[in-house]
Amino acid sequence: MPDRLRDAVSGATVLVTGASFGIGEATARKLAAAGATVLLAARSEDKLDELVRAINAGGGHAVSYPTDLSDEAAATALANRITDEHGPPDIVVSNAGKSIRRSLHHQYERPQDFHRTIGINYLGPIWLLLGLLPAMRDRGAGPPPSARHRPRPSTTCSTTPDRASSAGSVASHSHTQVGMAWR
Ligand SMILES: NC(=O)c1ccc[n+]([C@@H]2O[C@H](COP(=O)([O-])OP(=O)(O)OC[C@H]3O[C@@H](n4cnc5c(N)ncnc54)[C@H](OP(=O)(O)O)[C@@H]3O)[C@@H](O)[C@H]2O)c1
Cβ proximity of 53 and 129 under 8 Å: no
**What ligand 1 atom has the least distance to the C-alpha of 44?**
40
Structure confidence by residue, pLDDT tens digits, 17-37: 999 999 999 999 999 999 999
Residue nearest to atom 42 of ligand 1 (CA): 18
**DSSP symbol at 157:** E
- How many other C-beta atoms lie within 10 A of the C-beta of residue 16? 32
165 lines ligand 1 (CB under 6 A): yes
Name the residue type at position 99.
Answer: S
Strand extents, DSSP E, the chain: 13-17, 37-42, 61-66, 91-93, 155-159, 178-182
Structure confidence by residue, pLDDT tens digits, 38-61: 999 999 999 999 999 999 999 999
How high does pLDDT run on average in the chain?
A: 82
The CA 23 to ligand 1 mean position distance, Å, reads 8
The CA 149 to ligand 1 mean position distance, Å, reads 33
78 lines ligand 1 (CB under 6 A): no
Domains within the chain, CATH numbers bracketed? 2-182 (3.40.50.720)
The CA 89 to ligand 1 mean position distance, Å, reads 21
Name the residue type at position 41.
Answer: A
Q: What is the pTM of this model?
A: 0.84
Residue 93, beta-bridge partner list? 16
